[in-house]
Amino acid sequence: MGDFYELFYEDAEIAARTLGLTLTSRDKGSTNPIPMAGFPYHALDGYLQKLVRAGIRAAICEQVEDPKKAKGLVKREVTQVVTPGTLVDDALLDPRESNFLACVFPDRDRLGLAWLELSSGRFVATDVTLNELADELARLRPAECVVPEGWEGEDRGARSAERGKASTTLNSQLSTLNSLLTERPPWSFVPNECRRRLLAHFQAATLDGFDLDADSPGVTAAGALLEYVQETQKAALGHITRLEPYRRSTHLVIDETTRASLELTRTMREGRREGSLLWVMDETVTPMGARLLSDWLSNPLVDVEAIRRRLDAVEELSADAVLGRELREQLERGYDLERLTARVGTGRASPRDLGCLARTLALLPKLKAKLAGRRSELLCALEAELDLCPDVRADVEQALVDEPPLATTEGGILRPGFHAALDELRDLARGGKEWIAAYQAREVQRTGIPNLKIGFNRVFGYYLEVTAAQAAKVPADYIRKQTLKNQERYVTPELKEHEDKVLRAEESAVSLEQELFQALRERVAAHAPRLKQTASVLAQVDVLAALAVLAVKHNYCRPEIAEDPILDIRDARHPVLDRLQPSGEFVPNDVMLGVAGRESERANIEHSTSNIERRTQGPPAKDKAQSTKHAPLSTLNAQLSTLILLTGPNLAGTSTYIRQAALLTIMAQMGSFVPARAARIGIADRVFARVGASDELGKGQSTFMVEMTETARILNAATRRSLVILDEIGRGTSTYDGISLAWAVTEYLHDMVGCRTLFATHYHELTELTQTLKSAANWNVAVHEDGEQIKFLHKIVPGAADKSYGIHVARLAGVPPSVVERARVVLETLEADHLDERGRPKVPERPTRARTQRQLALFGGEHHPLLDEIRELNLEQMTPAAALQELQRLREKLER
C-alpha cells in the first residue's frame, strides 16, 4: 500500500503478535472494523526474518503497475511466497548451515523422499522405508516438509495402517526438528504429472540420464516439490540443473538415535552446534566450505578408494603449509558463490550480488595456479574442474559500476560507456538540471526578485518560489499554484515543459537501467551450471584445506583405511573432550577390535611392546587395577576380539571411550585425519550407538521401551561390517531382567552378527560371558585406590573391573556420610552372600537416629556458611567435571 506493507484480519492479528506491531483497524466507525497492522516497506527484511523463524509462510504482494498511470485501484500481485524451506536471501539464512525443503510421498509400502536446497540448487530424490525416513530427516533437518493433504486419514483400507504410522512418525519428528509441515493438494502428487513437470523443467525427454527410476515414489515427491517451489518463487530456477539419486549403500549409514547421541552436528541436550563434533572440526574459511563439511560429516563414505582420495589431498595440504595458507587466503576473500548463483537463478540477485560474484571470479586464476601440478589425484581433479568463467566475469565487470547498489530501483548500477542510449538519457537528465539553474538566473534578472528560487516537490514538481513581500513584482505569465505562510509558489508553461523532459529522462534512465540489469542477470543465470560447479570446487578445496589445518593444529594422524572389519587405534582421543579439557589432560587410549588380518597382526605386535612399557610404569604401585587380573598383552594380540565388554565405575570414562571409537570411525570415513597416534580402520557399513538413557517422554514412550526398540533395531540391522557401541543397555528395568537381556543381546551380537561391538556396562555379572564367547574380551578402566581416596585414571586396560565404586561416587555427590556408610555395610553383606534362611540379606542392625545425629550436625542445627555456597551453585550450567571440581573445593574447605 504505497510505502507500507499492510496485513488484515487474522493475518494482522498473527503479525501483531509475532512481530510486535500495533494492531489497529480500518473502518473504525463501522460495526465491523477490520483488524489491520503494517510496517514501512524498507523494514521488510527484518520482519520477514521474524515471520520465517516463527515458522510462518508469507505471501508478498506488490504493486505491479505504476500508481501514477493506474486507473482506479493500483493492480497488485503476489510476487513471492517466502517459506522457511525456500529461502535464498542472505538476510534470512545462516551462512554456515544448509537449509532444506523436503517432500514426502507415501506410496504403498515405500515412501518417496525428495529434498532441495534452493539456495544452492542441490536437488535429490530417493525411496525409503519408514525407519529410513526417520534417519534421513534427522540427517537433513529440513526447515519445511511438503506432504499430501490429509494423507493420514485417506483411504481406510489395507494401507491406511501403514500410512497412519508414517504420518505419526513424521509429525512427531518434524515437531522435534522444529520444521514446518506444509500440506499440498493430492493432485500435486499425481505421478504422471510430476514426471512431466520434471522433464519440462530439465528440458529432457526422459529421466534415464539422471539414473532415476521414473516410476519410483521418490520421483513423484521430487515433482511435487518442484511444483511447490515454482509456485512460491515465480522464477525460472535455472540453477536447479539436475535431480540426483541418493543411495544409502554408498554412504556410511547412521541412524537418527546414533546421530543424536554421538552429537555429530549438534549437541544432544541443547541442540547447538557448539560442543558438537562438527564444531571442533570446522576450520573452514568460507560458508560454502562450512556447509560442505557438515554434509561430509553427515554422509561419510564407504568406498575405500574415494576415502583414500580425500585423505591423499588432506595429507598433501597438511604437508605443505604454505600452499594451504595461500589457498585459504584466496578463498577467504571470496563471497558465497553458491548462494549468489542461486539468487541469480531465482531472479533475486541484487546489483551488489553480481558485483560480489565478479569479484569472487576474479580471485580464481590465482587459486587455479596454486592448485596446478599437485600430486594428489583429487587436487588435480579439482584444478581441472575449476572453471574460471572468464566470459561471465567480463560481462559483469564491463557492465557494473565498481560499487553497485543493493536496489535496482534507484539507478546508478551501470557504468558510463556501457550502453549508449542510457548515457544519452543520463546526459539529458543532467542537462535538464543545468537548464533549470540557468532558467532561475534568467528569471531573477527578468523579474528583479533577487531571492526567487526554483524548488521541487513530489506533488507539484518544479515551481518558482517568491517570498510574500516580493509577490507584487511577479510577472503576469506566472501561474499561482500554492500560497504558504510566507511564500507564494508559481509555475510557467516553459518550466513545466522542461520538467517533463527532465523527469522523463530520469525515469527512462532508471527503467532502462533496470531492464539492462535484468538482461545481464539473465545472461549470468544461463551460466548457472558452470558457476555451480566452480562453487563446488571452492567448497571442496576449502574443506580439504580445513581438514589439513585441523590435523596439523591438533596432531591428528592419517588413518589407514582397510576393507576387513578391524578397528585398531593407538592413543585415541575423544575429539571434543580432548579440546574442551586443558591441553594434555585427556588420557589417550587404544582401541583394538576385529578379526586381525595377517597384515594387521604384524602392526599389533609392533605397537604392543611400547604399550606394555607405558602401562607398567604408569600408575603408582598401590594401584589396585594394576595388580589384579590383567591379561598379558601378548595373548590379547594373538586373539583380537570382535566384542569388548568394558566395565568401570561411574565417571571412569567408559562412555567417552566407546563413543570415541565410533567418532574416529566416522571421521576416517569422511576423509579426515583422526586424533590418535596411529589408526587402522576397517570400513563400517553402519554405525550404531545406543548411549545413555535419553529422555523420550516427550514422544510418549517409556525410556525402557525406547531402549528396547533401538536394541531391536540394532540386532535386526547390524551386519558383520557394522560397528556397534552399547552403553549400559538393560538399565531401565529390574536388575535381573536387565542383566538377562544384556546377556542375550551380547551373545547374539557375538554369535549371529559378528560385528565389532563395544559394550560398556556396570553389570559385572556380564564379564563372565567372555568365558564362553570365543572372540570377546573384558576391559576395564584403571582406578587408583589409596585408602579411602579413589582416583580415576581414565586408562582403559585389559581385564574385568572387580568393583563398581558406586558408593564412592555417591559420597562425591554429597550423599550424607551416614547413608554412604550404611550402603557400604549393606554392600559388604550382599557381596559376601550373607542371606538368611528366607533369602533376605543378613544386614547388621540399622543405626538409630540418636547415633546419626552427630554426623548430621553439618546440615542440621546451626547455619553453616557452606550451605549458602551450595545453594548458589548454578548446577544447570555445570559440566560433570566442573561439578566434581566444585565438590572437591567444598570438601577441602570443610576439611580445613
Residue of 220, 286, 341, 656 that binds ligand ADP (CB under 6 A): 656
Q: Is 794 in the site for ligand ADP (CB under 6 A)?
A: yes
Q: What are phi and psi of 199, to 5 degrees?
A: -60, -40
Cβ-based nearer residue to Mg ion, 290 or 729? 729
# binding residues, Mg ion (CB under 5 A): 1
Residue of 382, 651, 714, 745 that binds ligand ADP (CB under 6 A): 651
Cβ-based nearer residue to ligand ADP, 517 or 792? 792
State the CB neighbour count (10 A cutoff) for residue 516: 17
| Residue 385 CB-half CA count within 13 A | 18
376 binds, among Mg ion, ligand ADP, none (CB under 5 to 8 A by kind): none
Residue pointed to by grid coordinates 493432485: 187
Cβ-based nearer residue to ligand ADP, 787 or 880? 880
Taking the complex as a whole, the smallest distance from the CB of residue 765 to ligand ADP amounts, in Å, to: 18
State the CB neighbour count (10 A cutoff) for residue 880: 9
143 binds, among ligand ADP, Mg ion, none (CB under 5 to 8 A by kind): none
Helix or strand (DSSP H, E) at 495: helix 493-525
Residue pointed to by grid coordinates 494423507: 151
Residue of 462, 463, 556, 586 that binds ligand ADP (CB under 6 A): 586
Which whole-number Å values give the CA distances from 165 to 12, 133, 257, 288, 840, in the listed order?
Answer: 37, 12, 19, 37, 47
Residue of 334, 404, 653, 675 that binds ligand ADP (CB under 6 A): 653
Decide if 738 contacts 731 (C-beta within 8 A): yes
Cβ-based nearer residue to Mg ion, 695 or 828? 695
Q: Is 655 in the site for ligand ADP (CB under 6 A)?
A: yes
Share of the chain residues as helix, strand and coil, in percent rounded to the nearest 5: 50, 20, 35
Taking the complex as a whole, the smallest distance from the CB of residue 573 to ligand ADP amounts, in Å, to: 7
Taking the complex as a whole, the smallest distance from the CB of residue 779 to ligand ADP amounts, in Å, to: 12
Task: For residue 405, give the C-alpha cell.
Answer: 547498489
Cα 228 from Cα 555, distance rounded (Å) = 48
Residue pointed to by grid coordinates 513471492: 80
Cα 467 from Cα 444, distance rounded (Å) = 13
Cα 423 from Cα 442, distance rounded (Å) = 28
656 binds, among Mg ion, ligand ADP, none (CB under 5 to 8 A by kind): ligand ADP
652 binds, among Mg ion, ligand ADP, none (CB under 5 to 8 A by kind): ligand ADP
Between 735 and 774, how does the x/- string for binding to ligand ADP read (CB under 6 A)? Answer: ----------------------------------------
563 binds, among Mg ion, ligand ADP, none (CB under 5 to 8 A by kind): none
Taking the complex as a whole, the smallest distance from the CB of residue 686 to ligand ADP amounts, in Å, to: 23
98 binds, among Mg ion, ligand ADP, none (CB under 5 to 8 A by kind): none
411 binds, among ligand ADP, Mg ion, none (CB under 5 to 8 A by kind): none
Cα 23 from Cα 7, distance rounded (Å) = 10
Decide if 539 contacts 338 (C-beta within 8 A): yes
Q: Is 582 in the site for ligand ADP (CB under 6 A)?
A: no
Taking the complex as a whole, the smallest distance from the CB of residue 804 to ligand ADP amounts, in Å, to: 11
Cα 48 from Cα 647, distance rounded (Å) = 54
Sorted by sequence, the CB contacts under 8 Å of residue 485 that are 6+ apart come out as none
Sorted by sequence, the CB contacts under 8 Å of residue 508 that are 6+ apart come out as 425
Q: Is 780 left (phi over 0), alpha (psi -120 to 50) or beta?
A: beta
Taking the complex as a whole, the smallest distance from the CB of residue 727 to Mg ion amounts, in Å, to: 6
Cβ-based nearer residue to Mg ion, 223 or 649? 649
Residue of 880, 892, 895, 896 that binds ligand ADP (CB under 6 A): 880
Q: Using CA of residue 876, residue 880, residue 886, residue 892, what is the dihedral sign? A: positive
Q: Rounded to the nearest 10 degrees, how much is the dihedral formed by the CA atoms of 620, 622, 628, 632?
A: 30
Taking the complex as a whole, the smallest distance from the CB of residue 655 to ligand ADP amounts, in Å, to: 3
Sorted by sequence, the CB contacts under 8 Å of residue 688 that are 6+ apart come out as 255, 258, 713, 714, 717, 718, 722, 723, 724, 725
Cα 125 from Cα 144, distance rounded (Å) = 16
587 binds, among ligand ADP, Mg ion, none (CB under 5 to 8 A by kind): ligand ADP
Cite the beta strand spans of 546-606 per DSSP E.
Answer: 560-562, 566-572, 589-594
What does the DSSP 8-state code read for residue 285?
Answer: S
What does the DSSP 8-state code read for residue 154?
Answer: S
648 binds, among Mg ion, ligand ADP, none (CB under 5 to 8 A by kind): ligand ADP
Q: Rounded to the nearest 10 degrees, how much is the dihedral formed by the CA atoms of 796, 802, 807, 810?
A: 20
Cβ-based nearer residue to Mg ion, 387 or 727? 727
Taking the complex as a whole, the smallest distance from the CB of residue 758 to Mg ion amounts, in Å, to: 12
Q: Near ligand ADP by CB under 6 A, which window of 138-146, 597-605, 634-642, 644-652?
A: 644-652
Taking the complex as a whole, the smallest distance from the CB of residue 626 to ligand ADP amounts, in Å, to: 17
Between 627 and 666, how does the x/- string for binding to Mg ion read (CB under 5 A)? Answer: ----------------------------x-----------
Cβ-based nearer residue to ligand ADP, 583 or 874? 583
Cβ-based nearer residue to ligand ADP, 330 or 778? 778
Task: For residue 409, give the C-alpha cell.
Answer: 530501483
SS3 525: helix
Task: For residue 755, give the C-alpha cell.
Answer: 560385528
Taking the complex as a whole, the smallest distance from the CB of residue 593 to ligand ADP amounts, in Å, to: 17
Q: What are phi and psi of 356, to 5 degrees?
A: -65, -40
880 binds, among ligand ADP, Mg ion, none (CB under 5 to 8 A by kind): ligand ADP
Taking the complex as a whole, the smallest distance from the CB of residue 47 to ligand ADP amounts, in Å, to: 43
Chain position whose Cβ is nearest to ligand ADP: 653
Which whole-number Å values give the CA distances from 430 to 198, 408, 427, 509, 606, in the listed order?
Answer: 50, 20, 5, 11, 84
What's the residue count for the chain? 896
SS3 212: coil
Taking the complex as a whole, the smallest distance from the CB of residue 783 to ligand ADP amounts, in Å, to: 11
Residue of 119, 258, 540, 650 that binds ligand ADP (CB under 6 A): 650
Task: For residue 334, give the C-alpha cell.
Answer: 571470496
Cite the beta strand spans of 372-531 per DSSP E.
Answer: 453-457, 461-467, 479-483, 487-491
Cβ-based nearer residue to ligand ADP, 347 or 648? 648
Task: For residue 274, give the C-alpha cell.
Answer: 557448539
Q: Near ligand ADP by CB under 6 A, which window of 519-527, 629-637, 649-657, 681-689?
A: 649-657
Q: Rounded to the nearest 10 degrees, how much is the dihedral formed by the CA atoms of 469, 472, 475, 478?
A: 60
Cβ-based nearer residue to Mg ion, 571 or 727? 727
751 binds, among ligand ADP, Mg ion, none (CB under 5 to 8 A by kind): none
Residue of 652, 668, 708, 812 that binds ligand ADP (CB under 6 A): 652
Cβ-based nearer residue to Mg ion, 346 or 655? 655
Q: Using CA of residue 263, residue 269, residue 273, residue 276, what is the dihedral sign? A: negative
832 binds, among ligand ADP, Mg ion, none (CB under 5 to 8 A by kind): none
Residue of 301, 587, 593, 664 that binds ligand ADP (CB under 6 A): 587
# binding residues, ligand ADP (CB under 6 A): 16
Cβ-based nearer residue to ligand ADP, 70 or 881? 881
794 binds, among ligand ADP, Mg ion, none (CB under 5 to 8 A by kind): ligand ADP
**Residues in touch with ligand ADP (CB under 6 A):** 577, 585-587, 589, 648, 650-656, 794, 880-881
| Residues making contact with Mg ion (CB under 5 A) | 655
